[in-house]
């Protein structure tokens, strides 16, 4: 039963990560194309997708929490039993953990993208001002 729970939490976390990546695909690629203006934006998108999957799955599949189902407790002789209620709770924790981890990664990305966008705008404005003074 434990292995099935582990596989299910992994599959759910991967599915949630996939949905979030699909949801943010257009906005992230638009930002990367605007800031980088080169084919390297594709490489950055691939890396961000990889990072989102890794962080999302590791945030959703909490091994240290799942260990309680196979490790006996000190006061008890048996480990915790996987009931229907615990299954629902673990699935909920997986979804929330995945979303929380992905939200942090995307927040960091969008803050960095905002800073990069401001730098690009300042450079564009500076080059336009220089061109207008030369003309």
- Strand, coil or helix: what is 1? coil
Q: What is the pLDDT along the chain (135 residues), one digit of tens a residue?
A: 778 988 999 999 999 999 999 999 999 999 999 888 788 989 999 999 999 999 999 999 988 777 777 776 666 666 677 788 889 999 999 999 999 999 999 999 999 999 988 998 888 887 777 777 665
What residue segments make up the domains of the chain, in order of their start? Answer: 2-134
Q: Which residue has the tokens 């434990």?
A: 2
pLDDT of residue 35: 86
CA distance 25 to 33: 12
Q: Secondary structure of 34-84 in the HEC alphabet?
A: HHHCCCHHHHHHHHHHHHHHHHHHHHHCCHHHHHHHCCCCCCCCCCCCCCH
């Amino acid at each position: 039963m434990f292995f099935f729970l582990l596989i299910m939490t992994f599959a759910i976390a991967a599915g949630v990560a996939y949905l979030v990546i699909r949801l943010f695909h257009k906005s992230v690629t638009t930002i990367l194309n605007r800031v980088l203006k080169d084919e390297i934006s594709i490489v950055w998108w691939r890396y961000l997708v990889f990072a989102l999957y890794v962080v999302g799955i590791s945030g959703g599949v909490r091994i240290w929490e799942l260990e309680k189902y196979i490790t006996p407790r000190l006061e008890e002789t048996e480990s915790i039993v996987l009931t229907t209620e615990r299954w629902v709770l673990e699935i909920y924790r997986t979804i929330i953990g995945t979303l929380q981890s992905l939200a942090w990664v995307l927040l960091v990305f969008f803050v960095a993208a905002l800073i990069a966008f401001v730098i690009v705008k300042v450079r564009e404005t500076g080059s336009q001002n220089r061109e207008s003074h030369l003309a």
